Amino acid sequence: MPASPLLFSTRDLLIGVATAALQIEGGDRNNNWYDWASLPGTIADGSTPLRATDHWQRWREDTALMADLGLQTYRMSVEWSRIEPRPGEVDQAALAHYREELSAIREAGIVPLVTLHHFSHPSWFQGLGAFTSPASPELFLRLTEVVVGTLGDLVTDWVTINEPNVYAVQAHLYSQAPPARHSWPAVRSTLRHMAIAHCRAYHRIHELQPEARVGFAHHARVFAPLHPGNPFHRASSALGRALFQDLLADAMLGGRFSRLLGRQPAEVTPGPHYDYLGLNYYSRSAVRGLADGTFPGVPVNDLGWEIYPDGLVEVARDLYRRYPGPIWVTENGTADAADGFRARFVHDHLRAIAGSGLPFERYYHWCFVDNWEWAQGERPRFGLVALDYAMQQRTVRDSGRFLSQVIAEGGVTRASHDEFVAAQTYPLGP
């Protein structure tokens, strides 16, 4: 029987999944998120990350499942609070655990991409003010040296920091993350110190490992005026994009600090501080002021976020124009508990990539197994693999089977489209 024809190719992409240690590992009480989640009213469903997916114990099962699905690459993070539970004290057992896991990942033929900071850190670091503290870049550099020095023979691809812009505004503006204290100066100092930390870590990693590929995971979204004919909406869109993502990109990719982030740091020389462009993309904002909104009647996911696949290429093209380089989609996924539109979501974003003409090299789906989704707790379901939290049972969803087939066939065939995508439709918002 002849092979089904390709509708589009993904052969130029390494395809895998992305996770974060705090959201999957479970069992750690020594971090800022466990401390905050233990306070009443902070998490939507009252859960904490103590259970998560129990990956700290079940990583062998998860690695085998990734291999079974044919995943080519895996983005994971290491948990700072496990590695340095007290200031200056390195837990060698935790590092040995990560070595064992990374060795198994490589033996399975999967390329690891390791994140050094993904929203969580030790309670002691939070007590110092976390990234509001002028000492934070030096403390982060110390962590970087320990991790790269210990794991560098197993890992050559690194993400220094995940979504600094999201981290800063959720923690210090919108009260959606610890310490949940509204402070514009804290947003500014956090962004500044995270950018300095990235730039310094970029150079230190290359000193330790000249062949390394280093970047950061930049959360970018499309900012579009709710009413394009309204000049205030247009101006708000441009301002929102500049404040939320462009100024940070200039500092972390180009080493150039806007006055809004303070004077140019003496320890950062303007110039490239990236080997790839890491992009986390989820949605588009309908702008009519400083608050996010959604266009009426557009496709939305379970959390009410607009599904706008073309936006991935829009933000990538804008960033690539200013900072040319290979593009790695370090996160892209959707909340879909019924798995009723996730295969279409993956299909539509991969199709946009394939037709873009841009140098996309990697695509990491968020996420692998349903995990603990920060302030939303255990309710949102982003996984290609469904999780029964009580039993810790994993079940591959149809969307997971679809992505596995895309990898195996080097693209989307007519047969896989008809089996997994054709019948799916997006829910529409109000």
Total of domains in the chain: 1
Q: Which residue has the tokens 């974003």?
A: 349
Question: Is residue 85 pLDDT above 70, yes or no?
Answer: yes
Give me the chain's average pLDDT, please.
97
Question: Is residue 320 pLDDT above 80, yes or no?
Answer: yes
To the nearest 10°, report the CA torsion of 103, 106, 110, 111. Answer: 100
pLDDT in tens, 387-413: 999 999 999 999 999 999 999 999 999
Identify whether 111 is part of a domain: yes
Give the pLDDT confidence score for residue 2 in this predicted structure: 62
pLDDT band at 215 (very low <50, low <70, confident <90, very high): very high
Question: Is residue 213 pLDDT above 60, yes or no?
Answer: yes
Assess contact for 330 and 274: CB atoms under 8 A. Answer: no
Instruction: Look up the domain containing 395 and give its range.
Output: 6-421
Identify whether 1 is part of a domain: no
Q: Which two tokens stand for residue 409?
A: 């066939």
Interval 21-27 mean pLDDT: 98
Question: Is residue 290 pLDDT above 80, yes or no?
Answer: no
Assess contact for 221 and 281: CB atoms under 8 A. Answer: yes
DSSP state of 89: B
Interval 23-28 mean pLDDT: 98
Identify whether 426 is part of a domain: no
Give the pLDDT confidence score for residue 3 in this predicted structure: 76
Identify whether 235 is part of a domain: yes
33-42, 137-146, 290-299: which range is least confident on average?
290-299
Identify whether 430 is part of a domain: no
Q: What is the CATH number of the domain that holds 38?
A: 3.20.20.80
